[in-house]
Amino acid sequence: MAEAMMVMEKFADILGEKHDQENWKILSEQRIKNTHAMFFDNWFRDIDARTNKPIILPEYFDLMMLAPLTCGIANEEQTKALKIKFEYFQRGTNSQSQWPPQIFTLCEAAWNGDARDIAADILASTADRVYRRTDSRKVLYYDSTFSYRVPGVANEFWPVKEIPAGGENYGWGATLPMNILRTIVGFRESNDLHTTEFFLAPMLPNNIMKAGKKYSVNNLCYRNVKFNLSYEVKKSNLIEITMDYKMQTPLSVTISQRNGGKVIVQEEKFSEQKISFNASNGDVFIVRFN
């Protein structure tokens, strides 16, 4: 509810409805306060309404309890405490990475909790498992490895065992490319509603960080900008980022490190241009068009 109200606050801002914006802000702040009160023993807990006490299960943490971090409403102290739990899910990823909503919750929480490397590792192993099944060039039957029936069709969940994968043409089973774009490629929207800017935050898993390898994705779009993006692994932890963009209205572009200085300042306005720059795997950049 807190996140939903924060979204409504943003809509009110876009529409210029200042009274509604202030009202949604008041409502969201109260829900955030309520959520903070559910944090016990370094974890968000459900509350037993009969006893008004937190439900604490020894040695077990439900991945979905990262939701406050996913939604960006955990405070600084809670975020710091939650960060160490990502290794728990990395060790026990099999049981809690089978369902798409869990993977989404993990990946977005990792972005807010500075655990992107762990999320990328878990996501890569999930993608490898899923695409080995759905990219098959023949129909697989129940007695075949992985038991996926129709190649190329999104399934209800991503089982780690050789069992049927639930319903086919299932919406949330088609979210894996989105997670890859947001977590491994690191292309995601900015929180600034009034400018054309987005993040590029490559986090390539260790097993594909091989010198000479090049990874590309084409036809990415953000507002009026359309671009192709490639990451070429150089040596050690270094990559070369190339962005080939085009748009109808010429604009200048600035690329900055999130916690540092400017990498590229292109004051001249172009409607079509190719830009390359070097980075370390894991860097976070803000790409802004003016």
Per DSSP, what are the bridge partners of residue 273? 245
Question: Residue 16: what pLDDT?
Answer: 94
Question: 179 or 195: which carries more pLDDT confidence?
Answer: 179
pLDDT tens for each residue of 261-273: 899 999 999 999 9
- Give the Cα separation of 257 and 34 in Å (integer): 34
- Give the Cα separation of 82 and 39 in Å (integer): 10
Q: Is the pLDDT of residue 2 over 90?
A: yes
CA–CA–CA angle 66, 72, 77 (5° rounding): 75
pLDDT tens for each residue of 180-230: 999 999 999 998 888 899 999 999 999 899 999 999 999 999 999 999 999
3-state secondary structure (DSSP) of residue 62:
coil
Output the DSSP codes for 149-171.
-STT--BS---SSSS--S-BS-G
* % of the chain at pLDDT higher than 70: 93
Say if residues 95 and 61 touch (Cβ distance below 8 Å). no
* Region class of 282: left (phi > 0), else alpha (psi between -120 and 50), else beta: left
Q: Measured between alpha carbons, how far apart are the two ends of the chain, in Å?
A: 34
Task: Look at the chain and count its residues.
Answer: 290
Q: Is the pLDDT of residue 139 over 70?
A: no
3-state secondary structure (DSSP) of residue 34:
helix
Q: Which of 125, 21, 120, 108 is nearest to 73 (CA)?
A: 108
Q: Going by C-beta distance under 8 Å and a sequence separation of 6 or more, which residues neighbour residue 87?
A: 118
Say if residues 285 and 200 touch (Cβ distance below 8 Å). yes
Dihedral of CA atoms 103, 104, 107, 109 in degrees, nearest 10, equals -110
**What average pLDDT does range 247-274 have in this prediction?**
91
- Give the Cα separation of 138 and 83 in Å (integer): 42
HSE-up of residue 204 (Cα within 13 Å, Cβ side): 24
pLDDT tens for each residue of 17-64: 999 999 999 999 999 999 999 999 999 999 998 998 999 887 788 899
CB atoms within 10 A of CB 80: 13
Say if residues 178 and 186 touch (Cβ distance below 8 Å). no
Say if residues 206 and 242 touch (Cβ distance below 8 Å). no
